[in-house]
Amino acid sequence: MPAQTILITGASDGIGAACARQLTAKGERVVLIGRSPQKTTALAQELGAPFHLANFTDLSQVHRLAAEVQAAYSRIDVLANNAGGIMGKRELTRDGFEKTFQVNHLAPFLLTSLLLPTLIASSAKVIQTSSIAARLTGKLNIDDLQNEKKYTPPKAYGDTKLANILFTTELQRRYGPQGITAVAFHPGNVATNFASDTTHWIRFLYRTPLRRLIISPEQGGQHLTWLAEGTPGVTWTPGVYYENDKIARSNPQASDAGLARQLWDRSVAMLNLA
Ligand X SMILES: NC(=O)c1ccc[n+]([C@@H]2O[C@H](COP(=O)([O-])OP(=O)(O)OC[C@H]3O[C@@H](n4cnc5c(N)ncnc54)[C@H](OP(=O)(O)O)[C@@H]3O)[C@@H](O)[C@H]2O)c1
Residues that bind ligand X (CB under 6 A): 10, 12-16, 34-36, 39, 55-57, 82-85, 103, 129, 131, 186-187, 189-190, 192-194
Catalytic residue among 73, 157, 175, 242: 157
DSSP-assigned letter for residue 106: I
DSSP-assigned letter for residue 224: H
CB under 8 Å to 252, separation ≥6 — which residues? none
Select 211 or 261, whichever has its Cβ closest to ligand X.
211
Dist. CA 136–CA 155, nearest whole Å: 9
* Residue 56 dihedral angles phi and psi, to the nearest 5°: -75, -5
Helix or strand (DSSP H, E) at 177: none
Select 122 or 133, whichever has its Cβ closest to ligand X.
133
Q: Is the dihedral of CA 228, 38, 195, 105 positive or negative?
A: negative
To ligand X, the closest distance from the beta carbon of 121 in angstroms equals 26
In the chain, alpha helices (H): 14-25, 37-47, 59-72, 99-101, 107-121, 133-136, 153-175, 203-207, 217-229, 257-270
Select 122 or 160, whichever has its Cβ closest to ligand X.
160
Q: Is 241 a catalytic residue?
A: no
To ligand X, the closest distance from the beta carbon of 39 in angstroms equals 5
CB 71 within 8 A of CB 53: no
The residues facing 236 across adjacent strands are 232
Select 122 or 194, whichever has its Cβ closest to ligand X.
194
3-state DSSP of 41-62: HHHHHHHCCCEEECCCCCHHHH
DSSP-assigned letter for residue 4: P
Select 115 or 122, whichever has its Cβ closest to ligand X.
115
Give the nearest residue (CB) to ligand X. Answer: 14
Catalytic residues: 157
